[in-house]
A and B are shown apart, each in its own frame.
Chain A
Amino acid sequence: MNHARVLYHLVRADFLERARRYSFLLTLGFAVYLAYCAGTGRIVLRLDDYRGVLNSAWLGSMMTLVGTAFLSLVGFYIVKNAILRDEQTRVGQILASTPMGRSFYTVAKGLSNFVVLASMMGVLVGAAILLQFTRAEDPHIQLATLLALHLGWPASHGFHGCAPGVIRDSALVTRRGRQCHLLLRLGNRFRHQH
């Protein structure tokens, strides 16, 4: 079995399935709106009375801050259910009857979650470049500078966003996992009420 080919097709199918949903497009639209807000001064990071010049470095920083906050809050809800969907559609039964191993499948699902979130980060990068052109405070695009902080994202929020989605899904496939999930939710509600 060609593992790279399997991984590519698993991630591709999972990504296309999610990327073609209206909910994904809505979330993407919201990400673009946030980027617009950050670029037009509605979301401003100030240091006393000073604000940054809208050049590649400052816009890259702004977009990374907006992106990480956005993906940490919303990202989990976008990427959850990757494994549950396979169980519900019974595609999982077909996958379980193939030579693909369980750990490989789990890694592929995690990677597919990562690709979904990275695509949103990619939209923010595109928006940052567009904004730098349109605001014209500094028209010189320095791609490496713009991307520097974005590239640091995978190590931190990539893991935070993708792994819990897969872990939660894996747990919910089992009866005991569902029981634990229900207890945690009930416990959480009880804690908020008291």
Chain B
Amino acid sequence: MKLVIDRVSKRYRANVLALHGFSLELGPGVLGLLGPNGAGKTTLMSILATITRASEGSVTWNGTDLAANPDALRAVLGYLPQDFGVYPNLNAVEFLEYLAAVKGLDAATARRRIDELLNLVNLADVRKRPLGSYSGGMKQRVGIAQALLNDPQLLIVDEPTAGLDPEERVRFRNLLSELSGERIVILSTHIVSDVEATATDIALISKGTLVAHASPEELLRQVEGKVWEWVVPSTELNAAKQRYLVSGTIRRSDGVHVRVLAPQPPNGAQPVAPTLEDAYLYSLSTHRAGAAA
């Protein structure tokens, strides 16, 4: 099972370059695709889901070029797009039956999978209610269920936790971790904590280019000894923000606890253990500094 993205570029009208020479090779596991809004994540997801064609470069699934033969992947693909929508007048069972048929599942398998998945996403009790009456989080769970209908080998989920409450978010992260064994899961998000909990690999993307591709541990090692925390009066917070790369602030009774990324510690700062969010900010700022130079 292998997905190879080879120097893929995507150019839209008005000469907007959404992706530029993006290369990545993926095997089974969860890839967290992290990047700021507008970085090109959704464009990449769309190309991998065989909806959009790359302007340059190629994507191959087990050696088959997807531009020439997209059906090689489509039969084993599960895709949850960003801002997933539904037919509001159908209920969950009717909607999933429809998508199961389109994905090529026979009637008996479809019925079994729909029952399993509605239980898995905790929607069994409301299975006969029109989807239009569902909350945003419930609709998102229907989206997750449809993506898993054909037990996909490649699962692409674009901003899947948007609209989910904290409990649902944890549930979804656990679900992704359970699913990752025998398949490739690509989780695109700008929420670092989603990736932190599930990803075996992380790809950082900014302005259409790959900034880094490494394991979470490798990314954390890059910022080892570069994360500091110190307390400043709230009047000096802006000055600190201008001087250092700040990854977090917490207001307490003794002042503002500022978390910064810097090679040398500010006066009175204490070293702290880095988080993936620190590593993400550090990689992006280093990349931007490199690009500007």
A residues lining the B interface (CB < 8 Å) = 1-2, 5-6, 8-10, 12-13, 16-18, 20-21, 85, 88-91, 93-100
Please report the C-alpha to C-alpha distance between residue A18 and residue B98 in the assembled complex, in whole angstroms.
15
A57 to B49, CA, bound (A): 55
Known: A13-B94, A21-B89, A88-B85. A99 touches B101 (CB 8 A): no
Q: Verify B103–A90 contact, CB threshold 8 A.
A: no
Residue contact A89 to B104, C-beta cutoff 8 Å: no
Q: Which residue of A lies closest to B158 (CB)?
A: A93
Q: CB distance A20 to B101 under 8 Å?
A: no
Q: Is the CB of B81 within 8 A of A94?
A: yes
Question: Does any Cβ of A come within 8 Å of B74's Cβ?
Answer: yes
Q: CB-CB < 8 A to A13: which residues of B?
A: 87, 90, 94-95, 97-98
How far apart are the CA atoms of A10 and B83 in the complex, in Å?
22
Assuming the A-B contacts A10-B98, A97-B51, are A20 and B77 also in contact, with contact meaning beta carbons closer than 8 angstroms in the complex? no
Q: Which chain A positions have C-beta within 8 A of B86?
A: 89, 91
Q: What is B's interface to A at a CB cutoff of 8 Å?
A: 46, 49-51, 71, 74-75, 77, 79, 81, 83-90, 94-95, 97-104, 106-107, 130, 146
> In whole angstroms, what is the CA distance A103 to B243 when docked?
59
Check B87–A89 contact: CB distance below 8 A.
yes
Residues from chain A with Cβ under 8 Å of B88 in the complex: 17
Residues of B with C-beta under 8 A to A90 = 81, 83-85
- Given contacts A2-B101, A13-B87, 7 further A-B pairs with CB under 8 A are A9-B98, A12-B94, A16-B89, A95-B102, A96-B49, A96-B50, A100-B102
**Beyond A13-B95, A17-B90, A99-B71, is A91–B85 a contact (Cβ under 8 Å)?**
yes
Chain B: minimal CB distance from A8 (Å):
7
Residues of A within 8 A of B100 (CB): 9
Q: Given A17-B90, A88-B85 in contact, is the A97-B79 Cβ separation under 8 Å?
A: yes
Contacts A6-B102, A9-B97, A88-B85 given; indicate if A97 touches B74 (C-beta within 8 A). yes
Q: Is the pair B50, A5 in contact by a Cβ cutoff of 8 Å? A: no
Listed from nearest, the 5 A-B pairs whose CB atoms lie closest are A89-B85, A9-B101, A13-B98, A20-B89, A17-B87
Q: Which residues does chain A contribute within 8 Å of B81, judged by CB atoms?
A: 90, 93-94
Contacts of A93 in B (CB 8 A): 46, 49, 51, 79, 81
A1 and B106 alpha carbons, distance in the complex (Å): 9
Cα A177 to Cα B71 with chains together (Å): 27
What B residues does A89 contact at CB under 8 A? Answer: 85-87
A10 / chain B contacts, CB cutoff of 8 Å: 98, 101-102
Cβ contact of A9, chosen from B46, B71, B89, B102, cutoff 8 A: B102
Q: How far is the CB of B107 from chain A (nearest CB, A)?
A: 7
List 28 A-B residue pairs with CB atoms under 8 Å apart, sorted by A's residue number: A2-B101, A2-B104, A5-B106, A6-B101, A9-B102, A10-B98, A10-B102, A12-B98, A13-B87, A13-B90, A16-B89, A16-B94, A20-B130, A85-B87, A91-B85, A91-B87, A93-B49, A93-B51, A93-B79, A94-B84, A94-B146, A96-B51, A97-B49, A97-B51, A98-B99, A99-B103, A99-B104, A100-B102
| B134 CB to nearest chain A CB (Å) | 13
Q: Are A2 and B94 neighbours in the complex by a CB distance under 8 Å?
A: no
Residues of A within 8 A of B71 (CB): 99
Chain B neighbourhood of A88, CB < 8 A:
85
Which A residues are CB-close (under 8 A) to B102?
A: 6, 9-10, 95, 98, 100
Measured between beta carbons, the chain A residues less than 8 angstroms from B49 are: 93, 96-97
Name the distance in Å between B15's Cβ and chain A's nearest Cβ. Answer: 16
Q: Is the CB of B50 within 8 A of A97?
A: yes
A5 touches B90 (CB 8 A): no
| Chain B residue contacts of A18, Cβ below 8 A | 89
In the complex, the chain A residue whose C-beta lies closest to that of B49 is A97
- Give the residues in chain B near A6, CB-CB below 8 Å: 101-102, 104
> In the assembly, what is the distance between CA of A114 and CA of B88, in Å?
21
Question: Do B85 and A8 touch across chains, with their CB atoms under 8 A apart?
Answer: no
